[in-house]
A and B are shown apart, each in its own frame.
Chain A
Amino acid sequence: MTLDLVPLWAGIMALGVFMYVLLDGFDLGIGILSPFAPDDASRDLMMNSVAPVWDGNETWLVLGGVVLLAAFPLAFAVIMPAVYFPILFMLVGLIFRGVAFEFRHMSSVGHLWNRTFQYGSIVATFAQGLVLGTYIQGIPVDGRHYIGGSFDWATPFSLLVGVGLIIGYGLIGACWLIMKTEGELQRWARNKATLLTFGVAAFIGMVSLWTPFLQPQIFARWFAWPNMLILSPVPMITIALFAWLLWSIKSGRETEPFLAALGLFGMCYLGLGISILPMIVPYKITLWAAASSSKSQGFLMIGTLFLLPIIVTYTGWSYWVFRGKVKAGSGYH
């Protein structure tokens, strides 16, 4: 009998998506904050702080997409049509902001590409929020097909998640800047981070209260006894993280705000997992029902076990290489 690889693949999938959200999250956040930058010099500094890493960050998205197809093809086939337009917006947003990073230095209309970078980042983030919102609110399925319409994603709930994600990415972007910059720009980033923390708190609160009422299963998962007791640390840790985040911004810490903000994303991710597992298409299809055959999962696992640790190590190493403050003039270009 072959080994059940489904939990392992679910873990790899979860890691890939989480890596993507954390890593591309802060560099999208830079794009979201960029229109509000105090001046052009700090705007350049902001972009330079993520320039060495953004394209590596986006590769996690491709990896997430193809691993979903390979390990859970049914989930891929059902979820993607449900978010047809959000995926389109996300891809086009990501392409525009990706090339803007580079074209702005080569082109004679550089300021136009700066705008492209800002709008591209905002559109891509909002679209990712729509995808998440659509996913949480549930996807209508009949047999092996998505049976909803192409605009089912346009609900108040998913719009709320979309706006929330813009503020959330903005927060980790601001915390990234606290860590990577100094002086005036850092003060500005602290200011924005404080503001955004309250925004994120409001949105996490709204989404967390709304979600259990979307589906009775989620309500039961969180509020049935003894789940309520067992899961009570989740909201408590989240509140503690908020306190730590605000305190660390205020008391002049440099790295801690970023870690606290990542922690908040981690708790939201955990909350999502608690709400939907073992489903991969919420409330319809389990991980096991969506999984590809063990022969497919096994074949891909061989290479993944070899390559993924190297990729993770390399990613960590490249962040280590670029550690420290980014300074004007000594930047990337």
Chain B
Amino acid sequence: MSLDALVLSRLQFFWVIAVHILLPAFTVGLAAYIAVLEGLFFTTHRPVYLRLSKFWLKVFAISFGMGVVSGIVMPFQFGTNWSRFSDSTGDIVGPLMAYEGLTAFFLEAGFLGVLLFGRSRVPPWAHFFAAVMVAAGTLFSTFWILAMNSWMQTPAGYSIVDGRFFPIDWFQVIFNPSFPYRLAHTIVAFFITTAWVVAGVAAYHLRAGRFREDGTTMLKMAFGLLTLLVPLQMLIGDLHGINTRQYQPAKLAAIEANWETQSRMPLLLFAWPDEAAESNSFEIGIPVLGSIIIARDRDGVIRGLKEWKPEDRPPVATPFFAFRIMVGIGLTMLALVICSWWVWWRGNFANNRRFLKLCELASPLGFVAVIAGWVMTEVGRQPWVVYGLMRTRAAVTPSLSAGDVMVSLTVYVIAYVAIFGTGGYLMVRFLRAGPVDRVSTIEHRGGTITARPLSAASEVE
């Protein structure tokens, strides 16, 4: 694979979206968590909920601000590097992206300012309402972007005229076959990611003997949610896999490194896929389990990669390993959740230092799983940009040279490392300072009701 404009454009897209996705992966769940905390404070008036909400609001502000600036880059990528994709599919993906933009704008303009700066300026119910609307807004944004992404995976409701896609039925376009599964799987993943961060921060402070009430509350809330969502996520993921078997069988074959169409397919735990030899040079697996999981039948037939011409197959190793990283993290999370039940039952939930250490170590796991799952699904879609209909190769801007994209990619890498490196560092420093109630600078400031994500956080400095 030579480094031409196509490959470099894909790398560039990978880079700008991989950095960007980390922020919604965190803020979508965090917005909902803040809405819950605000709701609890509104109904119970317990100060711990207010303290926690203020703390996480500042974290939310930093993440949301970085999400906004990295998000500005995204729509332009489609024009600069994927102009033929924009021309061919603009009639369908354009309105979906524009709705995402409008929704985000509406949310930022209307409610974020009230949430960040308005606690003393609006009645408590209105502040709670703003928190709910911000949380709803992040979910709407997720909805539109995933509708677009799912349409590229499992296109529906379109017609093709002269190589361009036109909408026939918007309901089918949006609620295309993989969309409900992808939406559920992604939102639950985002919630789980946030829950592990909350648990990790709680554990860090509990281990240091600080903020006992806050830490215990956070830990209980996080594991309450994880107890519900981690098993649910496995069920949704399983259903999503069955959906993939039906609509994107070549992707499924790559994920399982399954070359031959076979019944009683084993579940490979590890393998070394060799695309040139069209086989795996090494494999360890559990016999028959693959067919049982995917087809719900030990004799279920799973299609192998050799059914497709080599030029129609996705890369094998990347989806195969990315899937195993994602599932491995899922199983690790499940083990930790079960572990949490045990320490809870033993009654030393907030005191068990080894358990707290494990929580701390687990706090970034959700991000890794999100990136792995996303790499799996996008690489598994190859060689298509619109599955089965438009090749990625046919989507790239024709006028670009490899040198052009090499330059832009380098600039994006350096800029993002500098900016998001600094942002990440400031964020970690803030999380380690903990939910100190450094009273109400926010309440007594002059005339500020607008969206100022990052500076709401700088209040504490």
Contact = CB atoms under 8 A, between A and B. Distances in A.
Interface of A: 51-53, 55-56, 58-59, 61-63, 65-67, 69-71, 73-74, 76-85, 87-88, 91-92, 94-96, 98-99, 101-103, 105-107, 144-150, 292-293, 295-296, 299-300, 303-304, 307-308, 310-311, 314-315, 318, 321-322, 330-333
Interface stretch (B87-95, B123-131, B232-240): B87-95
B452 to A, nearest CB: 6
Contact of A77 (B87, B95, B455, B457): B87
A307 B446 CA distance: 29
11 contacts: A52-B452, A56-B450, A63-B105, A65-B75, A65-B101, A79-B79, A99-B66, A99-B422, A147-B398, A293-B167, A333-B455
Nearest to B425: A107
Contacts of B75: 62, 65-66, 69
Nearest to B458: A105
Given A300-B98, A303-B99, A53 B450 contact: yes
Contacts of A67: 98, 101
B458 A106 contact: yes
A311 B419 contact: no
A304 B87 CA distance: 22
Interface stretch (B107-115, B191-199, B274-282, B349-357): B107-115
B448 A332 contact: yes
A85 B450 CA distance: 33
B80 A145 contact: no
B458 A81 contact: no
A274 B443 CA distance: 50
Interface residues of B, number: 72
Given A74-B87, A99-B419, A87 B95 contact: no
A168 to B, nearest CB: 22
Interface of B: 65-66, 68-73, 75-76, 78-80, 83-84, 86-87, 89-95, 97-106, 108-110, 113, 166-168, 170, 397-401, 404, 407-408, 411-412, 415, 419, 422-423, 426, 445-455, 457-459, 461
Contacts of A99: 65-66, 69, 419, 422-423, 454
B71 A94 contact: no
Given A102-B454, A103-B426, A105-B455, A76 B98 contact: no
A95 B70 contact: yes
A106 B457 contact: yes
Given A81-B79, A81-B397, A74 B105 contact: no
Nearest to B398: A145
Contacts of A81: 79-80, 83, 397-400
A94 B84 CA distance: 26
B80 A66 contact: no
Chain A facing B: main interface SS: helix
A321 B450 CA distance: 9
Contact of B79 (A61, A69, A92): A69
Contacts of B407: 85
A275 B129 CA distance: 48
Contacts of A295: 91, 166-168, 170
Nearest to A144: B87
Contacts of A85: 404, 407-408
B385 to A, nearest CB: 14
A42 B245 CA distance: 63
B365 to A, nearest CB: 27
Contacts of A106: 426, 457-458, 461
A296 B452 contact: no
B69 A94 contact: yes
A322 to B, nearest CB: 6
Given A66-B98, A91-B72, A321-B450, 13 more contacts: A51-B452, A56-B450, A58-B72, A62-B72, A69-B93, A88-B408, A96-B419, A101-B454, A102-B457, A106-B461, A145-B398, A296-B94, A311-B102
Given A69-B90, A77-B83, A150-B399, A304 B102 contact: yes
Nearest to A324: B447
A79 B452 CA distance: 32
Contacts of B454: 99, 101-103
A102, A311, A318: which has the most chain B beta carbons within 10 Å? A102
A87 B83 CA distance: 14
B110 A314 contact: yes
B428 to A, nearest CB: 12
A323 to B, nearest CB: 9
Which 6 pairs of residues, A with B, have the shortest CB-CB distance?
A: A73-B90, A80-B79, A102-B454, A70-B94, A77-B87, A70-B98
Contacts of A82: 399
Nearest to A297: B95
Contacts of B408: 84-85, 88
A74, A88, A106: which has the most chain B beta carbons within 10 Å? A106
A77, A307, A318: which has the most chain B beta carbons within 10 Å? A77
A56 B109 contact: yes
B448 A52 contact: yes
Given A51-B455, A101-B454, A145 B84 contact: yes
B169 to A, nearest CB: 9
